[in-house]
Amino acid sequence: MLPNVAGEPKRRFGRRGSKMKALQLQKPGHASITTIAEPVAGSGELLLKVRMVGFCGSDLNSFRGLNPLVTFPRIPGHEVSATVVEGHGDFAAGTNVAISPYTSCGRCASCLRGRPNACQFNQTLGVQRDGALTEFIVMPPGKLYPSRLSLKELCIVEPLTVGFHAVARGRVAATDTVAVFGCGGVGLGAVAGASARGARVICIDVEDEKLLLAQAAGGAHVINSEREPLHKRLQELTGGRGPDVVIEAIGSPATFRAAVEEVAFTGRVVYIGYAKEPVSYETKLFVQKELDIMGSRNALPEDFQAVIQLLEAGKFPVDQAVSVIVPFEEAGNALRSWSENPSKFKKIMVSLD
């Protein structure tokens, strides 16, 4: 985009030299609004007005300085709904979109195998590169998913895709019983994704409120593993065989182990949680049960399409899942309150309108 010259219609956005506001993490525990240069769309990119940004556990980790992939200063924001400022065709000005925050190099082993979600050199918005908590961003159209969904719904697409991808990795079918360990944002997507495929889903968490939400998202059974004996309940619910698929969305050594202990013989285990410490296993179970054990990372375009379809069908309790929407000016305070009181919030979204 060129700077304004005399006689050209005045552009409101994307002028070289213009300034805009952004929320910046300066150092662990410190977030404030700062002024940065407005981005200018290069060739093959579109200028977008950011409308809403969601926070998840990884943003909380970044804020606390516990995300090893984040260096400071960093602008967070990878769960985004936005509006095209200037574009054409499917991406005409005014079109609302969800965004895929990942990049892929096209040359690493994952990319060559058609699995760019696990690109060795991926750079997620707000993690390895500056994110979307700012007024404008530029993106290539391939990362945009236009839909008539509301801004709030578009903003919840990305966090749900991560769980949907795990369900795809686990080859979940309608005949399966799937146990999901952890019903926070990511686990909730796995519950919704597995139930959208017709599977019977057992939701496991230690917080009743999260279990209620998981039920609203399609869970058939819930187990509060703090109050109920996990192994006994899983056996009861599966005729003594254990779940066909276990999806682990917590990342603790105990749940990493429980996944292989509880899954049925010849079952599938999918890990989404990042374990922060080494996990010791009774590895004979891998062999004895002839398990498929898989990792699941980020999401593919088809996961975005599947989530959008689910939301368009009104099959996900969006209002119930989002606990608070704060204005841009309050985004830093919201991160602070969340950090001080992690169990108080389900999902925080920031409105930039």
Residues interacting with Zn ion, by CB under 5 A?
Answer: 56, 79, 104-105, 108, 111, 119, 159
Could you tell me the two tokens for 181? 């360990």
* Of 40 and 192, CB closest to Zn ion: 192
Minimum distance from residue 212 beta carbon to Zn ion (Å): 22
Output phi, psi for 15, to 5 deg.
Answer: -80, 135
The Cα–Cα gap between 324 and 320 comes to 10
Neighbours of 56 (CB within 10 A): 17
Minimum distance from residue 58 beta carbon to Zn ion (Å): 5
**159 neighbors 226 (Cβ within 8 angstroms):** no
* Of 99 and 111, CB closest to Zn ion: 111
CA angle 256, 261, 262 (to 5 degrees): 100
Minimum distance from residue 303 beta carbon to Zn ion (Å): 14
Minimum distance from residue 105 beta carbon to Zn ion (Å): 4
Minimum distance from residue 49 beta carbon to Zn ion (Å): 21
The Cα–Cα gap between 272 and 252 comes to 11
**77 neighbors 328 (Cβ within 8 angstroms):** no
**240 neighbors 247 (Cβ within 8 angstroms):** no
* Of 79 and 153, CB closest to Zn ion: 79
* Of 23 and 111, CB closest to Zn ion: 111
Burial class (CB in 10 A: 0-12, 13-18, 19+), 272: buried
* Of 13 and 316, CB closest to Zn ion: 316
The Cα–Cα gap between 277 and 143 comes to 33
Minimum distance from residue 282 beta carbon to Zn ion (Å): 32
Minimum distance from residue 126 beta carbon to Zn ion (Å): 9
* Of 119 and 180, CB closest to Zn ion: 119
* Of 191 and 234, CB closest to Zn ion: 191
The Cα–Cα gap between 209 and 259 comes to 23
Residue type at position 178:
V
